[in-house]
Amino acid sequence: MIRPIVRDTFFLGQKSDPATTADRAVGRDLRDTLAAHRSGCVGMAANMIGVKKRVIVVSLPPADLVMYNPAIVLRDTPYEAEEGCLSLDGTRRATRYQNITVEYRDEAWQKRRQRYSGWIAQIIQHELDHLEGIVI
């Protein structure tokens, strides 16, 4: 289901709670909402659709990747980036890392560990900030 985008910075500034298997529908809603905003969005966190759970979706062609309870376990090579967000107007500066390793649960609730680099790594880091209540 396509959900409205939350723009309330008070809500966005709150930390998200761990996801459970009961939150799989949140991942589906995130995927649907990302698809509806594809022209201006490459990733979303659950709080952007009004759900305070640790779930993100990232556009990773040819498909969108949903991650439940993602956490960065390794990172290297910091750099400065300027980013926009569907929930906010304008752009903001942020320190990102060129390479990250993320542990998460997939849609089958299997534990995964994957390394990402470049643009995809930057998107994941932005969405993980959302889960921590960091408004970028």
- Reported as a single tens digit per residue, the pLDDT across 5-40 is 999 999 999 999 999 999 999 999 999 999 999 988
Segments forming the whole domain that contains residue 14:
9-131
* Percentage, residues of the chain above pLDDT 70: 100
Question: 2 in a domain, yes or no?
Answer: no
Candidate list 80, 83, 103, 127, residue with the active-site label: 127
State yes or no: is 127 an active-site residue: yes
- Reported as a single tens digit per residue, the pLDDT across 60-75 is 888 999 999 999 999 9
- Reported as a single tens digit per residue, the pLDDT across 75-111 is 999 999 999 998 988 899 999 999 999 999 999 999 9
Question: 34 in a domain, yes or no?
Answer: yes
Question: 136 in a domain, yes or no?
Answer: no
Beta-carbon contacts of 125 under 8 Å, excluding residues fewer than 6 positions away, are 72, 94, 96, 97, 100
Question: 40 in a domain, yes or no?
Answer: yes
Q: Which CATH number belongs to the domain containing residue 121 in this structure? A: 3.90.45.10
CA distances in angstroms from 61 to 16, 24, 54, 120, listed in the order given: 27, 21, 22, 10
Structural domains in the chain (count):
1
pTM of this prediction exceeds 0.85: yes
Residue 83: strand pairing partners:
92
Alpha carbons 50 and 118: distance in angstroms, whole number? 28
pLDDT at residue 23, as a whole number: 97
Question: 93 in a domain, yes or no?
Answer: yes
